[in-house]
Structure 1
């Protein structure tokens, strides 16, 4: 079977949130310390339209992960740049799915009017740092002690 990505729909939001929440305890991926609710993510979901889409990736009808494009600082001069975030279900990690999604995002960037993609990745998240570097991303900053995870 192959992976397929598509635009997320409101019907996907519960699974998107479940995947997100499954990463919180590891302190590897997000600065949220407690699970979020579907209701609290409604506005975030609504903001992912047009040139800032939210994709889900499936295999055999099972949602395995998602990728979001978010505005970088939200100011007009940054309109051609977007932050990307990738979250995968635990069962889907380590199989190349993150690479697939990142490659799809890079390929789609020009059609979304984007010249620059960036990710905010914890330095101790070596898998994600390595993935982004293998696909040509460079480290441009290190912000020690910015996030207090415990």
Structure 2
């Protein structure tokens, strides 16, 4: 794989971010969204991600946008400021190239400069590829919320994985 570059996301990246996110909805194992989202719907989410606290980065491979990774507030109460939730989404044409590993590692590398001490991820129990990726990178199961979501008629467990960084 060529070298991956990470750039802070700008509003010009938002259509790409939304497009990649929408690619995952039909699988019913990646996100709890049931219908595709629009750029307008995701704008408040995007604007809430401040580069100096909870950034969104776009991963570039061979001068093309390949995916994105974000660190979001884990919880709005102040004492949780040391913990962020990671999300990664990879464009279909760039999957299975090891990009997910590089995206998670990049976020972990940047976390200390953002005063983040823990990274958590929320993954459906049926999403075996994501569970495998994060476990391979040293994330441990910190909890399970059984049958908290219904996707396509199936009740889904939500796994909470975490790691001190």
Instruction: Give the TM-score taking structure 1 as reference length.
Output: 0.97
3-state SS in 2 of match to 1:79:
helix
Q: How many residues align?
A: 150
3-state SS in 1 of match to 2:145:
coil
Match of 2:43 in 1: 42
Match of 1:124 in 2: 126
Match of 1:146 in 2: 148
Q: Return 5+ residue gaps in structure 2 as ranges.
A: 153-165
The whole-number CA distance in structure 2 between the counterparts of 1:121 and 1:94 is 18
**What pairs with 1:1-150 in structure 2 (closer than 5 Å)?**
1-49=2-50, 50-150=52-152
Render the CA deviation track for 1:25-69: whole Å, top value 9, x for unaligned.
011210001000000011100011121000000112211100011
Instruction: Give the TM-score taking structure 2 as reference length.
Output: 0.89
Any runs of at least 4 consecutive aligned residues in structure 1 with deviations exceeding 3 A, and if so which? none
3-state SS in 2 of match to 1:82:
strand
**Structure 1 position 9, deviation (Å):** 0.5
Q: Which has the higher strand share?
A: 2
**Structure 1 position 93, deviation (Å):** 1.2
